[in-house]
Amino acid sequence: MNIQRSSRRVGVALASALLATIGLVSTASAGTPKGVELAASDTGGVTLSAAPSHRLRGVSGYEGAGAPSDVTAYGAQRVPSGHRITGYSSPTGDDLGVQSIIGADNRVRVNPTTSFPASATVLITRTVSGVERLHCTGWMFGASLVLTAGHCVYNQSTGWYTGQLKFYPGANGTTYPYGSCTAATLRSNTGWTTDGNPDADYGGASLNCSIGNTTGWYGAYWTTASLNGTSTTIQGYPGDKAQQQWTHTDQVRESGSLRLYYDNDTVGGNSGSSVHTVRASGSTGCAGHCSLAFHAYGVGSNGHNSGPRITESRFNLVIGWR
């Protein structure tokens, strides 16, 4: 999904204290339902610096083993022939049909989707009243972990999407080479679920399968340096393309301490996509397809699309989730 909102409540008084706290909050003490885990907020920001490249920290991705002959060997479910997913439906209801194509539409279809990183790019659907619809995009970050935008797992009005989501790695129209999985645990942080802060709009899902062992998974890195000029690719499932995977490459236009801004073309359905760059083999910290941010928002007042940046605390948190 791809949304734009003018402002959110931010827990400013607690931000600096919470920044250092990245452990998971007990589901009992947090009052959250079974199958949900919350991290503390980390919306205090960091000071950007002209840090040298050796200050970059991260992990490289894994390119996987290709489409398996039997997805059930990884705990995934086969998708029967003729399975129907209907058109895109906004999780929040406030961005249906809103597009964030900046200038000419330069998106390119990814076909086939059985090579990395297409295989590790995940179509997320949501079923309500028996109707399954395109919901968001996610990206594998481990054998059983999908990362995405916070609003793809938690709605500010209705709460957690427990029991409603399904995950299809490498979906290609009506073809599902890696089957489907469901969420064992939905994950986010209080900066999103409590404060509704766009800078903290990230989350994920621990799946009931280990399909990442064959799809592969993205790498990720953090740095306090400006990322302006860094190439950015967003690959995912825009709501106007019938469950097809599409991609577009641009660059970081503005670097905030907690958010990155870029001009990649996106529409509703792209929310949760990895905002990634490609680094040469052997690169320090992360080589290959390395995520920089979680795509979450359409064009704002500065004329760019944007998403929460991967910071040190966020990197440590999502590594812990897997």
Residues annotated as part of the active site: 151, 271
Task: Identify the sign of the CA torsion 192, 197, 200, 203.
Answer: positive
Q: Rounded to whole angstroms, how far apart are CA atoms 292 and 269? A: 19
Q: Which amino acid is at 156?
A: Q
Q: What is the DSSP letter of 41?
A: P
Residue 67: count of CB within 10 angstroms of its CB? 17
Q: Rounded to whole angstroms, how far apart are CA atoms 302 and 307? A: 13
Name the phi and psi angles at 172, rounded to 5: -145, 85
Are the beta carbons of 224 and 202 closer than 8 angstroms?
no
Q: Rounded to whole angstroms, how far apart are CA atoms 213 and 204? A: 18
> 3-state DSSP call for residue 315?
helix
Q: Which amino acid is at 179?
A: G
> Side-chain half-sphere of 217: how many Cα atoms within 13 Å?
18
Does an H or E element contain 13, and which? Answer: helix 12-19
163: region left, alpha or beta (phi > 0 left; psi from -120 to 50 alpha): left
